[in-house]
């Protein structure tokens, strides 16, 4: 590489490099890419579009599903949380519900909003658990927490259902059995999907979610 | 260092280029997430032995026997591993409330569990939980029937279940049992070893505001609930579990250094037949009191949020 010998030339190069470095620092990180800056998703209101990458690096945009007439289920996920472990490894609540509705224009996306260094974080770990637990839907990585905070996701799991016209029709728990000790439990998500698909109002559009806290960074 | 005025020399071209490259590496790399990830947290699975070590549970009584017509107190004592916590009856943003299933033999009436005031646990993402740390006693009032036969023994059982969390969370529980002799009406059951601890905890249980002789005023300003306490230096509100209302931005609005709390009460479907209730921790000088307060929602205007 030919060295730049004169003073003016060196200053120009230094300036260009500094500019590029600073531009790279301030460039928005390719993380959540929420398409607008609404504060919080509201039940009964329109949900803002978002794009996240899954554990295979593939991008998923909410509107790519809803504009095709799909209902989208969002499941907040952390493979280190015992409640998530119970619903995936001990029981198969999530996959059973997914399978019951996957042929009915329902798409299911898991989202991990854990920050780097926090429990359950990391593409490799989430990809491994997806395989180990036989999860057949994408796990999206939201390590900035932007999408999680927009939805107000507090626990793992925390479930949301977005209708094909981008309306939030359900938010809350997967079921009414936080301790996993009921002989028969009510699956709120299944009930909400059944009602919505039949054109009826969801009887319980909001329930208290249970689980570990979402491991946001800030 | 950058662009500084120095005479030309043979080493300056190399130095300037290296400095510029270093700047690129230091400043730009974080934008592309090239720093190595942090250490993964290990997680505990339900049923791990660590669960028993995290929380030790005991069933205590304040007397060593019980007589017909007598009132006494049982207590579930949880001793919690350092930095772990179990949850209040309103767990807050996450977690699960501690739960009790209590049985008593015929002839004994069990009252409602008395919960000490919790402490706040604030987490990233503006999340707020209500927890207990170190050691907590939950008081269970018991009354023996006046016509109880003064013979034999009475066995009380409590199945307690909890969620203990630090970074990870783990479910736990214990089946507790305590047997006490039933003595004659005119015998005086002695104080048990745990009497002092139970009495001290019971004295700290939140009381209705009117019994504390503290001037507490609640009022509404649009949909904001105002709680004002004369001469208070610090106020903290621990809401009761509720389905039909929630407090806006609770991390900020349920604690204040001063004498006035202003808490936005959110929900389009506020149940106006029920008050908004909870426990108010009141600091006045060196004195700390815990008051149970209720705010009538009839005063909250019908405002579409």
Closest CA to B68 of B140, B147, B165, B169: B147
Give me the residues of chain B with pLDDT under 70, please.
Answer: 1-52, 267-272, 298-305
- B36 → chain A, closest CA residue: A116
Which residues 69-128 of A have a C-beta within 8 angstroms of B? 80-83, 85-86, 90, 115-122, 125
Q: What's the confidence (pLDDT) of residue B271?
A: 66
By C-alpha distance, which of A210, A93, A116 is closest to A156?
Answer: A210
ipTM score of complex: 0.80
Contacts of A29 in chain B (CB under 8 A): 31, 33
Dump the DSSP string for B25-46: HHHHGGGGT-SPPPPPPP-PPT
Please enumerate in sequence order all residues whose Cβ is within 8 A of that of B192, keeping only pairs 6 or more positions apart, or say none. Answer: B60, B61, B62, B63, B64
Question: Using CA atoms, how far apart are residues B225 and B125, in angstroms rounded to an integer?
Answer: 24
CA distance A110 to chain B (A): 19
Q: Which two tokens stand for residue A63?
A: 């509107």
Percent of chain A scored above 90 by pLDDT?
A: 80
A 10 A CB-CB count for B197 gives: 16
Considering only the beta carbons, identify the residue of A10, A82, A178 that sits closest to B46: A82
Q: What is the pLDDT of residue B269?
A: 59
CB-CB under 8 Å, A217 with B169: no
CB contact under 8 A, A217 and B124: yes
Q: Is the Cβ pair B171, A179 closer than 8 Å?
A: yes
CB contact under 8 A, A212 and B168: yes
- Judge: A21–B28 Cβ closer than 8 Å, yes or no: yes
Structure confidence at residue A10 (pLDDT) = 61
Helical packing angle, B12-28 and A7-26, nearest 10°: 10
The pLDDT > 70 percentage for chain A reads: 83
For the stretch A103-143, pLDDT in tens is: 999 999 999 999 999 999 999 999 999 999 999 999 999 99
Partner B contacted by A45 (CB < 8 A): no
pLDDT of residue B181: 95
Which residues are CB-neighbours of A132 under 8 A, at least 6 positions away? A89
Contact (Cβ atoms closer than 8 angstroms) between residue A27 and residue B30: no
Residue A14 confidence (pLDDT) above 70: no
Q: Is the pLDDT of residue A3 over 80?
A: no
What is the pLDDT at residue B95? 94
Could you tell me if B10 lies within 8 Å of chain A, comparing CB atoms?
Answer: no
């Amino acid at each position: 590489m030919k060295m730049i010998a004169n003073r003016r030339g060196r200053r120009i190069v230094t300036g260009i490099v500094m500019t590029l470095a600073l531009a790279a620092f301030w460039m928005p990180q390719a993380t959540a890419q929420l398409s607008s800056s609404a504060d919080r998703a509201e039940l009964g209101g329109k949900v803002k579009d978002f794009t996240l990458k899954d554990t295979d690096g593939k991008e998923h945009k909410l509107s790519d599903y809803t504009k095709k007439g799909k209902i989208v289920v969002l499941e907040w996920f952390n493979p280190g949380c015992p409640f998530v472990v119970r619903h995936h490894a001990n029981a198969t609540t999530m996959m059973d519900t997914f399978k019951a509705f996957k042929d009915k224009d329902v798409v299911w996306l898991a989202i991990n909003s854990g920050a780097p260094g926090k429990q359950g974080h990391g593409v490799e770990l989430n990809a491994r658990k997806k395989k180990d637990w036989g999860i057949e839907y994408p796990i999206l990585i939201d390590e900035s927490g932007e999408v999680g905070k927009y939805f107000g996701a507090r626990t793992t799991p925390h479930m949301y259902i977005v209708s094909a016209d981008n309306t939030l029709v359900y938010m809350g728990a997967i079921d009414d059995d936080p301790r996993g000790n009921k002989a028969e439990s009510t699956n709120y998500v299944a009930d909400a999907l059944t009602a919505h698909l039949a054109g009826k109002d969801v009887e319980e559009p909001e329930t208290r979610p249970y689980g570990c806290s979402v491991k946001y960074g800030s | 260092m950058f662009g500084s005025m120095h005479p030309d020399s043979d080493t300056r071209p190399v130095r300037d280029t290296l400095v510029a490259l270093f700047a690129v590496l230091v400043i730009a790399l974080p934008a592309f997430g090239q720093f190595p990830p942090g250490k993964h947290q290990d997680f505990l699975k339900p049923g791990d032995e660590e669960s028993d070590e995290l929380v030790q549970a005991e069933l205590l009584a304040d007397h060593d026997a019980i007589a017909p017509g007598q009132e006494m107190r049982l207590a579930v004592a949880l001793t919690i591993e350092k930095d772990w916590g179990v949850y209040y009856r309103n767990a807050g943003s996450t977690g699960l409330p501690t739960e009790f299933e209590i049985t008593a033999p015929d002839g004994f009436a069990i009252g409602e569990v008395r919960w000490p005031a919790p402490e706040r646990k604030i987490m990233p993402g503006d999340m707020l939980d209500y927890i207990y740390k170190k050691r907590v006693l939950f008081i269970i009032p018991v009354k023996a029937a006046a016509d109880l036969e003064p013979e034999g023994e009475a066995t009380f059982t409590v199945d307690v279940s909890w969620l203990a969390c630090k970074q990870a969370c783990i479910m736990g529980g214990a089946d507790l049992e305590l047997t006490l002799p039933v003595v004659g009406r005119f015998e005086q059951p002695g104080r048990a070893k745990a009497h002092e601890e139970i009495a001290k905890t019971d004295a700290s249980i939140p009381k209705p505001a009117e019994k504390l002789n503290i001037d507490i005023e609640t009022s509404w300003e649009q949909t904001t609930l105002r709680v004002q306490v004369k001469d208070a230096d610090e106020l903290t509100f621990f809401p009761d579990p509720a389905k039909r209302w929630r407090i806006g931005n609770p991390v900020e609005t349920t604690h204040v250094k001063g004498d006035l709390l202003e808490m936005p009460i959110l929900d389009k479907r506020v149940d106006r037949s029920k008050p908004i209730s909870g426990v108010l921790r009141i600091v006045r000088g060196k004195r700390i009191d815990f008051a149970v307060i209720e705010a009538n929602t009839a005063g909250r205007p019908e405002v579409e949020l």
